[in-house]
Amino acid sequence: AQSVTQLGSHVSVSEGALVLLRCNYSSSVPPYLFWYVQYPNQGLQLLLKYTTGATLVKGINGFEAEFKKSETSFHLTKPSAHMSDAAEYFCAVSDDTGRRALTFGSGTRLQVQP
Amino acid sequence: DTAVSQTPKYLVTQMGNDKSIKCEQNLGHDTMYWYKQDSKKFLKIMFSYNNKELIINETVPNRFSPKSPDKAHLNLHINSLELGDSAVYFCASRASGGEGETQYFGPGTRLLVL
Task: Determine contact, residues A112/A13, Cβ cutoff 8 Å.
Answer: yes
A107/B48 CB distance under 8 A? no
| Closest by CA position to B89, among listed B11, B18, B25, B26 | B11
Tell me whether A10 touches chain B (CB under 8 Å).
Answer: no
| Residue A70: strand, helix, or coil | helix
What is the CA B36 to chain-centroid distance, rounded? 8
CA distance A57 to chain B (A): 15
Higher-pLDDT residue of A1 and B69 is B69
Which of B56, B90, B110 has the CB atom closest to A101's CB atom?
A: B56
- Ordered DSSP codes for B46-73: EEEEETTEEEEE-S--TTEEEEEEETTE
Would you state the pLDDT for residue B52? 83
Q: Tens digit of pLDDT for each residue in A68-99? A: 999 999 999 999 999 999 999 999 998 767 77
Which of B31, B42, B108 has the CB atom closest to A106's CB atom?
A: B42
Tell me whether B105 touches chain A (CB under 8 Å).
Answer: yes
Beta strands B10-13 and B109-113: pairing type?
parallel
Task: Determine contact, residues A38/B91, Cβ cutoff 8 Å.
Answer: no
A32/B103 CB distance under 8 A? no
Tell me whether B88 touches chain A (CB under 8 Å).
Answer: no
Buried residues in A103-112 as b, exposed as e (16+ CB within 10 A)? bbbbbbbbeb
CA distance A106 to chain B (A): 5
Tell me whether A59 touches chain B (CB under 8 Å).
Answer: no
Task: Determine contact, residues A55/A66, Cβ cutoff 8 Å.
Answer: yes
Q: Tens digit of pLDDT for each residue in A18-66? A: 999 999 998 877 788 999 999 988 899 999 999 888 899 999 999 999 9
Whole-angstrom distance, CA of residue B108 vs CA of residue A95: 22
Would you state the pLDDT for residue A12? 97
Would you state the pLDDT for residue B57? 87
List, for chain B, all residue ranges whose pLDDT scores fall below the cut of 50.
none
Whole-angstrom distance, CA of residue A110 vs CA of residue A86: 5
Sign of CA dihedral B4, A65, A24, A84: negative
Would you state the pLDDT for residue B98? 58
CA distance B76 to chain A (A): 17
Task: Determine contact, residues A34/A48, Cβ cutoff 8 Å.
Answer: yes
- Rounded to a whole number of angstroms, the distance between the first and last alpha carbons of chain A is 41
